[in-house]
Amino acid sequence: MTTPPVAGTIVAVSETFYDVIVVGAGPGGATTAWKCAERGLRVLLLDRAAQLPRYKPCGGGIPASLATHVSGFEESERFADLSVTHLRHSWKGKDTVLAEMTTESGAPAHVWMVQRAHFDAWLVERAQAAGATVRTGVKVSDVAVSGETITVSTATGETFAARHVVGADGAKGIVGARVGLRLGKRWGIAREAEIPFETNAGGDNRFHADLHPGAAYLDYGSVPNGYAWIFPKRGFLSVGAGMLLPKKPAENEENNVGQVLRRAIDTMLASVGQTFPEGMDAPRIWGHPIPFWTGAEPLATADNRVLLVGDAAGVVQPMFGEGIQYAIRTGDVAADCLASGTVGEYTNRVRALFADEFDAALRIGKMFYRTPFLSYKLGVKNPAGTKLVGRLMAGEAHLHDLEQRIYERLRNPLKRKG
Ligand SMILES: Cc1cc2nc3c(=O)[nH]c(=O)nc-3n(C[C@H](O)[C@H](O)[C@H](O)COP(=O)(O)OP(=O)(O)OC[C@H]3O[C@@H](n4cnc5c(N)ncnc54)[C@H](O)[C@@H]3O)c2cc1C
């Protein structure tokens, strides 16, 4: 609960002393603020965006199994546009396979399609309703620990004080850098555009001969170390491409990477009979870094005063670049640690939840992207593979199960089932 600064600490601060200041109001920060406020902590949530909702380049795909991990996500119609139950895979726009995702019991496995502007604003509303104070247009420029007080300074000279700070400021966040966390971080890169799209006048709601709003589309082979996607939303398609396993950061910042991703987006659109709308040029295609999971670094400072969540903590599944559910889940764990006075356990709790899965994803990803054509033919198009994806999305299987299956197949290539 709220405790005043230790007497004698001299800092220029706002009048309120917070239990927690959360920097960044994306899924990670908004969830941290929501769950901390629910637990009775005095919370300030800051974002540099002038106002919310704000756009964030993102496909907006979230496995519905998130609701089994974090409370409050039961009514998906409040935050999701659509819910897909099929994946349509292709190799360079061709050789397609449409697969239904199902759970072990045969029920459809759902992946929510959220518009990030709407979804993030919905989360911030949850935080506000639980009692968090929210300020936008506040760009944090420094974080300094002095005795019992952490001072957060902004680009415009404002200061705020708290006992704890949570860095939820995304892939290139500054909070971690200011307190010596995630110093050697590396990124993949992705580009994304939102293409207006009306369902056809016939009213059957179909996008393309073999596709429908219940399917998300993934294309392999056009992007080295990555893939392209189309995630349907109401009234538009989120189309993008990403390179996920960087060799070194500089390579991914070269212009030709942007062009490779742009060509992959064009191929993806063409494969469903679409083109970039007239007049919609490169600036409307947003580039954004995707942090690279290493699992090696601590996610809180040694004095347990500053924690990182979501992209700022590098908690992104490294094979597909999926990060929303992990931002939310690390935010939930961070809030629990803050409210129960167990911040010292935070890094280990995050590792216990995700390290096995992410390490397996990294190994599978390296194998997959090194031999993408073979992986596509033998893995993605294999009915057992598509079945497993359904289990993964339903949270009933783990990537280390998939890794196990791959090694079994390599040991015994003639085995047809398993
Ligand atoms: C093109 C693309 C497509 C993607 N598609 C998917 C997908 O389909 N599914 C999925 O699960 N993941 C996807 N991801 C990853 C996903 O977008 C991220 O993992 C997710 O946004 C992480 O949430 P976060 O809250 O940690 O950070 P963010 O969403 O990046 O939020 C960080 C917030 O911090 C604020 N901020 C930054 N610096 C400061 C500062 N100095 N002061 C104050 N505020 C600051 C920003 O304004 C922002 O609001 C995609 C990523 C990219 C790039």
Q: What is the pLDDT of residues 48-64, one digit of tens each?
A: 999 999 999 999 999 99
In this predicted structure, the answer to whether residue 227 has a pLDDT above a threshold of 80 is yes
Share of the chain above pLDDT 90, in %: 56
Give 383's pLDDT tier (boundaries 50, 70, 90). confident
Ligand 1 centroid to 6 CA: how many Å? Answer: 35
The whole-model pTM stands at 0.92
pLDDT at 390: 82
Q: Are 229 and 59 in contact (CB under 8 A)?
A: yes
Annotation: CATH topology of 82-108+186-291: D-Amino Acid Oxidase; Chain A, domain 2 (3.30.9)
pLDDT for res 405: 76
pLDDT band at 416 (very low <50, low <70, confident <90, very high): low
Pocket-forming residues, ligand 1, beta carbon under 6 Å: 23-29, 46-49, 56-62, 139-140, 168-170, 173-174, 190, 192, 240, 242, 288, 290, 310-312, 316, 321-325, 327
Question: Which atom of ligand 1 is nearest to 189's Cα?
Answer: 53
Q: Give 326 Cα–ligand 1 centroid separation in angstroms.
A: 11
Residue 29 Cα: closest atom of ligand 1: 25
- pLDDT for 394: 85
What are the tens digits of pLDDT across the range 266-316? 888 888 888 877 766 655 778 888 888 888 889 999 999 999 999 999 999
Please list the alpha-helical segments (H only) found in 218-345: 249-253, 255-271, 324-340
Give the burial string for 88-109 (b: 16+ CB within 10 Å, else e): bbbbbbeebbebebbbeeeebb
Query: Ligand 1 pocket: which of 47, 265, 316 to mutate (most atoms <8 Å of CB)?
Result: 47
The pick from 58, 122, 124 for probing ligand 1's pocket by mutation, whose C-beta has the most ligand atoms within 8 angstroms, reads 58
In this prediction, residue 3 carries a pLDDT of 42
Q: How far apart are CA 336 and CA 148, in angstroms?
A: 20
CA contacts within 13 A on the Cβ side of 186? 17
pLDDT score at 392: 87
Closest CA to 123 of 44, 35, 63: 35
Instruction: Determine which residue's CA is closest to atom 9 belonging to ligand 1.
Output: 61
**The pLDDT of residue 355 is above 90:** yes
- 131 token code pair: 């009692």
Pairing status of strand 17-23 against strand 159-167: parallel
Residue of minimum CA distance from atom 4 in ligand 1 = 58
Is the previous residue joined to 53 through a cis bond, with omega within 30 degrees of 0?
yes
Kindly give the distance from the C-alpha atom of residue 240 to the centroid of ligand 1, in angstroms, as a whole number.
Answer: 15
Q: Where are the domains of the chain?
A: 17-56+116-185+293-361, 82-108+186-291, 382-411
pLDDT at 199: 57
Class for domain 17-56+116-185+293-361, per CATH?
Answer: alpha beta
- Say if residue 365 is exposed, middle or buried (CB neighbours under 10 Å; 0-12, 13-18, 19+): buried
Residues 313, 411: Cα–Cα separation, whole Å: 36
d(CA 285, CA 190): 10
CA of 329 to the centre of ligand 1 (A): 14
pLDDT in tens, 393-410: 888 888 888 888 777 777
Burial of 215 (0-12, 13-18, 19+ CB in 10 A): buried
Are the beta carbons of 270 and 263 closer than 8 angstroms? no
Q: Which of 10-24, 154-168, 190-204, 284-298 has the largest mean confidence? A: 154-168
pLDDT in the model for residue 2: 40
1 three-state secondary structure? coil
Q: Which atom of ligand 1 is nearest to the CA of 324?
A: 11
* Whether pLDDT at 386 is above 80: no
Residue nearest to atom 38 of ligand 1 (CA): 169
Q: Taking all residues of the chain, what is their mean pLDDT, rounded to a whole number?
A: 86
Query: What ranges in 10-161 are assigned the alpha helix state H?
Result: 27-38, 116-130
Burial class (CB in 10 A: 0-12, 13-18, 19+), 400: middle
| pLDDT-derived band at 36, boundaries 50, 70, 90 | very high
Closest CA to ligand 1's atom 51: 58
Beta strands, E only, 56-168: 61-63, 82-84, 86-91, 94-100, 111-113, 133-135, 140-146, 149-154, 159-167
